[in-house]
Structure 1
Amino acid sequence: MPELPDLEVFSKHLQKKLKGKKLKALSKAGSWKKDFLRQPLKKVYREGKELRFLFGNGHILGLHLMLHGKLVYEEKDSKPAHTVFSLQFDDGSTLSVTDWQKKARITPDPQLSEVPDALSRQFSAAYLKKLLAGSRAKVKKLLIDQHVIRGIGNAYADEILYEARISPFSIAEKIPEEASARLARAIKKVLKDAVKKIEKDHPDIIAGEVRDFMRVHQHGKEKSPGGKKIEHAEMNGRTTYYTEEQTEYT
């Protein structure tokens, strides 16, 4: 599943490709379709793990790719295999969403969330400190909970915790204030650095997951940059990558 840095880059590239084009056809059925047809696309941006398409009349389409959804852009009318829905523009170009599981979803005028995005101003060291306090959850589980922080997924949670040198198995309320502040800094740094890296190395990417630069969450990698063995464990049905360099607070 694409995570925050991937989607942030996708949104920038889609903005360049699609801005100003008018929506000619929308394959998804619904009485709300009329709100979007013949409207110019004003902006493409990211909210949490979703992409948002803002049209000239103020209406927004929200897109969640879920686990296997992918974007395919072609400068012609097309329907790739496993297309779930598509947006066709007045110049003939088409943006399709494919998903062999058919789980990718599109939402007209999605509601604003009160949960802060991981790269928003609302997400601060003070917010994280308050979030950790009184929680008996393991810190990694908390980081990927979209009901408390939006945008962080399994892979980047591992990278963030490695950067902060905090074990993913640490109990949230046991993490001391200094380590909490370090974690807040790590969240911003890891995500922003990843956006820059993906954008530089993949100037046109709008689909897939780029993971080859990750320091610990990388299949087949045996040692961290610090030379320690990368361990693997299952947590909530997902593989967690970590090393002994990370302190466990319990």
Structure 2
Amino acid sequence: MFEIPYLENCAEILEKRFKNRVLQKVDLQCEKSINVSREILSESIVEHELKRVWRDGLSLRLQFKSYSVLELSFSTSAFIQVIEQNLEADPFLLNLHFSGGSIISVKDTRKSSTFRLNPINTDIPDALSKAFTFNYLIGLFSNKSEEIKCVLMDQNLIRGIGEAYADEILWYAGISPFSIVSKIPLVKVKLLYKTIKYVFIDAIKQVRKINPIGYNKTDSDLLLIHNISKKNSPTGGMIKMKVISDKKVYYTDEQYLYI
């Protein structure tokens, strides 16, 4: 899954590299991957300069001088590659050809990534936005009987927290992923809120150091709990894993279960 640290780093690098370049051509392998026709897509963004790239939730957004925005939402089988001038492109799902000869290429063997032209903005707060406040989190938890990991990953409640970093956040906060949100005491909710911000800000810094190219998925060494190669947490707890509804949950008995 493309999560916040990788997407933040990738957005920064793509903007530095492609800002003010003109998009000369769009190649789309599968028209079902996008919400408009190829013709409308080309009319909206081709021959226009790229003005901004940023992360929004678990997606990347590219804004052009035409004010059109292209949203890229990636599946677990996808990755981004920048293809230099005169180099041949491997099989792709989406290729954006820019002036100067470089291409932003989205690869996806399952063809399950999706793209959206001019996505509708939402009031649902991003995990790193100012709108995501402690009071918002309290209100979110007050009447819910769902497990905490499911709530954190629900993009209709909080945008940007994916499968891997939900496990990392909950371990740092000392809360079992199977805890019922309404049963978690206020002092732990406050700790969880601070932990969400801390874990992501720290991970973004680490990604910038170990992955300066920015186009490959986040190095798994950053993940201390949601990591198949690790047997124990940094404090010695044995890492366990369960699969629930096709989602992997990594945790330790160090985390308190609130039910």
> Which aligned pairs between 1:226-241 and structure 2 lie closer than 5 A?
226-241=235-250
Identity level (%): 34
Aligned residues: 250
> Which aligned pairs between 1:67-146 and structure 2 lie closer than 5 A?
67-76=76-85, 80-146=89-155
CA distance in 1, matches of 2:86, 2:78: 20
Partner of 2:19: 19
Contact 1:77/1:94 (CA < 8 Å) preserved in 2?
no
| CA displacement at 1:79 relative to structure 2 | 5.5
Q: RMSD across aligned C-alpha pairs, in angstroms?
A: 1.3
Q: Unpaired runs of 5+ in structure 2?
A: 29-37
TM-score of the aligned structures, taking structure 2 as reference length? 0.93
CA distance in 1, matches of 2:160, 2:136: 16
Partner of 2:209: 200
Quick one: which of 159, 166, 190 aligns to 1:157? 166
TM-score of the aligned structures, taking structure 1 as reference length? 0.96
Contact 2:83/2:89 (CA < 8 Å) preserved in 1?
no
Q: Which amino acid aligns with 2:182?
A: E
Partner of 1:169: 178
Over 6 Å off, 4+ runs: none
| CA displacement at 1:77 relative to structure 2 | 5.5
Contact 2:211/2:218 (CA < 8 Å) preserved in 1?
no
Q: Unpaired runs of 5+ in structure 1?
A: none
Look up the SS of the partner of 1:83 in the other structure: coil
State which drifts further: 7-16 or 69-78.
69-78
Contact 2:71/2:118 (CA < 8 Å) preserved in 1?
yes
State which drifts further: 35-44 or 77-86.
77-86
Partner of 1:31: 40
CA distance in 2, matches of 1:90, 1:80: 16
CA distance in 2, matches of 1:72, 1:79: 12
Q: Which amino acid aligns with 2:149?
A: K
CA distance in 2, matches of 1:190, 1:74: 32
CA distance in 1, matches of 2:122, 2:219: 27
CA distance in 2, matches of 1:168, 1:82: 38
CA distance in 2, matches of 1:188, 1:82: 37
Look up the SS of the partner of 1:63 in the other structure: strand
Contact 2:207/2:218 (CA < 8 Å) preserved in 1?
no
CA distance in 2, matches of 1:77, 1:189: 42
